[in-house]
Amino acid sequence: MSFILNALQRHSPINYGIALVAYMAVVRFFRYRRINALLKKYPDPTLPLRNLTVAKEIFSTFNDYEFPYLNVVSLEFALFKTYAIPSISKILAASREFNNSCLKRTDDTVFILLEMNEGFSRNLKRTMVEGKVDADEVLNDEKRAEIAIDRLNYIHGHYAIKQEDYLYTLALFMLEPPSFIDQFEWRKSTELEQNALFALWTEQGKAMNIQNIPETKEEMEAWAEEYESKYAVHAPTNGIIADATIALLLSLAPSFTHGFGVQAVSALLTPRLRAAFNIPPPPRGVTTLVRATIRARALFIRYFMLPRRLPHVRTALRANNESKYVPSYHKYKPVYPDGYRIEDLGPTKYLGKCPVSFHPSGITPSSSAKDAETKAL
């Protein structure tokens, strides 16, 4: 970096150009250093499929260092795609959660998923900031994940959700992030990362008692494509849930941009999904503009933005004095400005309710939930 500063001090166009090229080369080097180190450390890309600890390390790097923004967007898009399945959208519409409290419903879902998956990165960030490993907090991270899964199972257990719809949602959580990253990020995902995502989401699916999970990523891709082609068809409830979700997304932008925002969302959808949501195709040129803008962002990141030093985590590193977890930031208006208890996330009607053994979907709570229920009763 001193070479770049010296070139700038000479105040000539040539030196400015040399400094710029040198800076871009430095940024690119550091940008690829983390993934290159992982590929060197784990030369066998199939290792995450057999070693869950390795999968968590790679998953953490993928989510919270390399692609913290578009990874979240890809998961939101994955959830959005599930609303094109009428058997899913009808349940959501009947619950009226989207009609009455779309923001709370969205944040509840996000925080449950983050509590399930951010434990490795939370521990890493605590260690880097505080200079030591807190064994009690590591154990608490594991318990937080268990409580989140139990809570998810408890909530889902009150709805007659088809196993195939669970599996389709799980498939999108595995497949959409690499797909988005490969199209729009500063580098493509690696086979090592794709296998880590497959391994961890498979583990989460088993904890949710999802049946008939394909054994390979390729089999999951083929199954999801076949399921979507058969069941992603138009229904009025698809549009109801899609409209509420798009309105929440566009709430971050000035109102005069909302018309173009709807067109931008349409540009990212396939013709099949547009038909299922009854969303018109975007005007000519909008798709090109949207994709070019996102790719320009990718180039800027690759050559001008140095990589993160700390993992980007949204969940709190530890509970506050009221045993609540205060998010590190709020994407929309704060739903939990004073923090939340994991066991209270979800629809208000289930607030303070402990998990029960009856689950219409066939999902049963884990042992930790049963223990909690016994103590509560």
Closest by CA to 370, choosing from 359, 350, 352, 355, is: 355
- Which run of H or E residues covers position 209? none
Phi, psi (5° rounding) for residue 325? -105, 115
Closest by CA to 214, choosing from 228, 194, 199, is: 199
Q: Which two tokens stand for residue 338?
A: 């004073």
Tell whether the model's pLDDT for residue 375 goes beyond 60.
no
Query: pLDDT by residue (tens digit) across 145-157?
Result: 999 999 999 999 9
Confidence (pLDDT) at 169: 97
Confidence (pLDDT) at 6: 63
Helices (H), 49-96: 52-61, 68-82, 86-95
Query: pLDDT by residue (tens digit) across 224-272?
Result: 999 999 999 999 999 999 999 999 999 989 999 999 999 999 999 999 9
Query: pLDDT by residue (tens digit) across 183-213?
Result: 999 999 999 999 999 999 999 999 999 999 9
